[in-house]
Chain A
Amino acid sequence: MRNKVTTEESALYSFKRLYSSYGYTSFKMNRFEEYDLYANNKNFLISDNVITFTDTNGKLLALKPDVTLSIVKNTDPEKAPLQKLFYSENVYRVASKTHEYKEIMQVGLECIGKLDAYACAEVITLAAKSLELLDSDYVLDLSHMSFATQLLQEANIPHSKKAEIMTYIGEKNLHMITAACRENGVSEELTGMLVHLASIYETPDKAFSELEMLNINEETEKALMELRQLMAALRSSGIIEHIRFDFSVISDDRYYNGFTFAGYIHGVPRKVLSGGRYDNLMKKFKKDCGAIGFAIYFDALEQLLAEKDFNEVDTLILYDGDSDISVLCAQVNELAASGKKVTALRDIPKGLKYKNLLDLGGNRNG
């Protein structure tokens, strides 16, 4: 069977069961959050338009556009050394192109505290397993921020230029990386390395030899070691064949460091899962610990999880004012109890598909 979950409800249920079975606990939060939280961390948000309103006390509140910030705000690394949390919440965003408000279901997971190699491997395993629940044909693109940030650090160019080149890396835009590097006097060698980094799309085995060529300092050495350790940890999990090393998966380095990853499933034209390690965000909140997590976007899954048989029933029972209601009730109950999808209506709606028709219309039969 290709699709293991077929509706939004069953997907939600499956994700929750998966995360609970790995010891993650549910995190429930308020629909509203103080606006300041987002105003101070605007760059962390996918869209910078936040829906705000004033509460009865005159405090400026926002419909939460993101869950991670609220979780980070509310976790205390002093109290628990490692917190494993998951959530399923609606978030509110402004669609970038249509400028319309959207309510989006989001499921996610965060692991916050004293992170180690195992914790990271576990979160990435759960990201892969989440994708597998949606479709066995999935890809998890894995990246490590250190390569891009260290190469750009080496290039010694202003922050705005770094951000520009980061965008090009994200687009696998090799010609623009070359042009921007040339414009900013970056050496040929370093330009070549950045182009190489952006072009990598390989299975882990093949990618390691290419990454060796991009190993320029202690930080990239550490990143290589972390990637090797992760692959060793995942060896028995059966997910390695779905992993591709792709260093175009990058996020804002003011928040993210270490692993970043993105998930795609066959038949959905865009990213359905996105995650990474965000120790830098924790630092902004003056919390001295690590954090890694991911989110699954249900708006991307809408097509996949739309009920395909929404307009189909097994049995359509037609009745009218002269029908015997007790017979009607008994028929409907009996069919429903036998596992059939049944609907009792006075008229046949346009477009409804049904396998059997039972006409209990007293008048028509009479």
Chain B
Amino acid sequence: MAETMINVALPKGRLGEKVLAIFESAGYTCPSIHEQNRKLIFENEETGIRYFWVKPSDVAIYVERGAADVGVCGKDILLEYSPEVYELLDMGMGKCRMAVAAKKDFRDNTARSLIVATKFPNIARDYYLKQGREIDIVKLNGSIEIAPILGLSDVIVDIVETGKTLLENDLCPYEDIVNISARFIANKASYKFKYEAVTELVNKIAGYVESKND
């Protein structure tokens, strides 16, 4: 039986399933998580791991506040919320990019402020601040692509994976902001007080990720 239990916040959804597969391949198996039931927390005392599924945008909060020792979440969430955590590993998966997109015929009118619709107001603000461009942010929670079509905004700042959704809505990527991928994060206090267990986990995951990339 493992001496220390590590609490892992996994992002619900396709990315989380892939992350779980990697953790299990690295030796952190947990049979109960594959059972069909409504449980939310799954643990395996043998491997010293306790998994729980949370909303992807909440992973960083769980880790920052110590409810989870470690977690995996997209760089977009880390850039948007700037949580006080260690970012220990780029998992090299869930790759996409944060980009500005607009209608195909969009021309930036610099004589007035640019209206930007986004789920990521901090990333958008930061990006345009660096350019010295005055913007007006429209914070939306979903279906961002519709905003420029209906004239709600000039552009959108959103995650672009293949660009297919944009194309289907007559939009196109305008500028790339930053590359996004899934990152392994750790609570700062857990890193100190569960140092051996956390570093062993990171090293094993890193080893697995590297072998996959080779």
Q: Which residues of A are interface residues toward B (Cβ below 8 A)?
A: 96-97, 137, 139, 141, 171-176, 201, 244, 248, 264, 266, 268-271
Which chain B residues (141-198) contact chain A, with CB distance < 8 Å? 187-193, 195
Q: How near does chain A come to B182, taking the closest CB pair, in angstroms?
A: 12
User: A201 contacts which chain B residues (CB < 8 A)?
Assistant: 191, 195
How far is it, in angstroms, between the C-alpha of A264 and the C-alpha of B190 when the chains are bound?
10
Q: Are B86 and A172 within 8 A (Cβ)?
A: yes
The reply to whether the CB of B8 lies closer than 8 angstroms to some CB of chain A is no
A175 and B192 contact, Cβ closer than 8 Å, known pairs A269-B66, A269-B187, A270-B84: no
A244 and B189 contact, Cβ closer than 8 Å, known pairs A171-B85, A175-B90: no
The reply to whether the CB of B88 lies closer than 8 angstroms to some CB of chain A is yes
User: B89 contacts which chain A residues (CB < 8 A)?
Assistant: 175
User: A268 contacts which chain B residues (CB < 8 A)?
Assistant: 66, 189
Q: How near does chain A come to B187, taking the closest CB pair, in angstroms?
A: 6
Q: How near does chain B come to A127, taking the closest CB pair, in angstroms?
A: 15
Question: Besides the contacts A172-B191, A201-B195, A269-B64, what 5 more A-B pairs have beta carbons closer than 8 Å?
Answer: A139-B193, A171-B87, A172-B88, A201-B191, A271-B188
How far is it, in angstroms, between the C-alpha of A141 and the C-alpha of B193 when the chains are bound?
12
Q: What class of interface size applies to chain B in its complex with A?
A: 20 to 34
Q: Are A269 and B65 within 8 A (Cβ)?
A: yes
Q: How near does chain A come to B108, taking the closest CB pair, in angstroms?
A: 24
The reply to whether the CB of B81 lies closer than 8 angstroms to some CB of chain A is yes
A269 and B190 contact, Cβ closer than 8 Å, known pairs A97-B81, A201-B195: yes
Q: Are A270 and B188 within 8 A (Cβ)?
A: yes
User: A244 contacts which chain B residues (CB < 8 A)?
Assistant: 192
Q: How near does chain B come to A266, taking the closest CB pair, in angstroms?
A: 6
A264 and B189 contact, Cβ closer than 8 Å, known pairs A171-B85, A269-B65, A269-B66: yes
Which chain B residues (71-124) contact chain A, with CB distance < 8 Å? 81-82, 84-90
Chain B contact residues: helix, strand, loop or mixed? mixed
Q: Are B188 and A264 within 8 A (Cβ)?
A: yes
A173 and B190 contact, Cβ closer than 8 Å, known pairs A201-B195, A269-B65, A270-B66: no
23 pairs of residues in contact across A and B, judged by CB atoms under 8 Å: A137-B193, A139-B193, A141-B192, A171-B86, A172-B87, A172-B88, A172-B191, A175-B90, A176-B87, A248-B86, A264-B188, A264-B193, A266-B193, A268-B66, A268-B189, A269-B65, A269-B66, A269-B67, A269-B189, A269-B190, A270-B65, A270-B188, A271-B189
CB-nearest residue of chain B to A271? B188
Q: Are B87 and A173 within 8 A (Cβ)?
A: yes
Q: How near does chain B come to A183, taking the closest CB pair, in angstroms?
A: 12
User: B190 contacts which chain A residues (CB < 8 A)?
Assistant: 269
How far is it, in angstroms, between the C-alpha of A141 and the C-alpha of B195 when the chains are bound?
13
Q: Most B CB atoms within 10 A — which of A174, A266, A268, A269?
A: A269
Q: Most B CB atoms within 10 A — which of A97, A141, A171?
A: A171
Q: How near does chain B come to A204, taking the closest CB pair, in angstroms?
A: 15
CB-nearest residue of chain A to B84? A270
User: A176 contacts which chain B residues (CB < 8 A)?
Assistant: 87, 90
How far is it, in angstroms, between the C-alpha of A167 and the C-alpha of B52 when the chains are bound?
29
User: A269 contacts which chain B residues (CB < 8 A)?
Assistant: 64-67, 187-190
User: B187 contacts which chain A residues (CB < 8 A)?
Assistant: 269
Q: How near does chain A come to B214, taking the closest CB pair, in angstroms?
A: 16
How far is it, in angstroms, between the C-alpha of A125 and the C-alpha of B26 when the chains are bound?
41
User: B189 contacts which chain A residues (CB < 8 A)?
Assistant: 264, 268-271
How far is it, in angstroms, between the C-alpha of A271 and the C-alpha of B190 when the chains are bound?
11
How far is it, in angstroms, between the C-alpha of A97 and the C-alpha of B80 when the chains are bound?
11
CB-nearest residue of chain A to B83? A97
User: A248 contacts which chain B residues (CB < 8 A)?
Assistant: 86
How far is it, in angstroms, between the C-alpha of A328 and the C-alpha of B28 when the chains are bound?
62
How far is it, in angstroms, between the C-alpha of A174 and the C-alpha of B88 when the chains are bound?
7
* One of A96, A139, A171 near B192 (C-beta < 8 A): A139
How far is it, in angstroms, between the C-alpha of A201 and the C-alpha of B192 when the chains are bound?
9
Q: How near does chain A come to B197, taking the closest CB pair, in angstroms?
A: 14
User: A175 contacts which chain B residues (CB < 8 A)?
Assistant: 89-90
How far is it, in angstroms, between the C-alpha of A173 and the C-alpha of B90 when the chains are bound?
9
User: B193 contacts which chain A residues (CB < 8 A)?
Assistant: 137, 139, 264, 266
CB-nearest residue of chain A to B65? A269
User: B67 contacts which chain A residues (CB < 8 A)?
Assistant: 269
How far is it, in angstroms, between the C-alpha of A220 and the C-alpha of B127 when the chains are bound?
35
User: B65 contacts which chain A residues (CB < 8 A)?
Assistant: 269-270
How far is it, in angstroms, between the C-alpha of A248 and the C-alpha of B82 when the chains are bound?
16
How far is it, in angstroms, between the C-alpha of A269 and the C-alpha of B63 when the chains are bound?
9
User: B195 contacts which chain A residues (CB < 8 A)?
Assistant: 201
Which chain B residues (17-48) contact chain A, with CB distance < 8 Å? none
How far is it, in angstroms, between the C-alpha of A97 and the C-alpha of B84 when the chains are bound?
12
Q: Are A173 and B86 within 8 A (Cβ)?
A: yes
Q: How near does chain B come to A213, taking the closest CB pair, in angstroms?
A: 20
User: B88 contacts which chain A residues (CB < 8 A)?
Assistant: 172-174
Q: How near does chain A come to B210, taking the closest CB pair, in angstroms?
A: 11
User: B86 contacts which chain A residues (CB < 8 A)?
Assistant: 171-173, 248
Q: How near does chain B come to A352, taking the closest CB pair, in angstroms?
A: 29
How far is it, in angstroms, between the C-alpha of A106 and the C-alpha of B36 when the chains are bound?
49
CB-nearest residue of chain A to B91? A175
List the 4 closest A-B pairs by CB distance, nearest first: A269-B66, A173-B87, A175-B90, A172-B86
CB-nearest residue of chain A to B181? A175
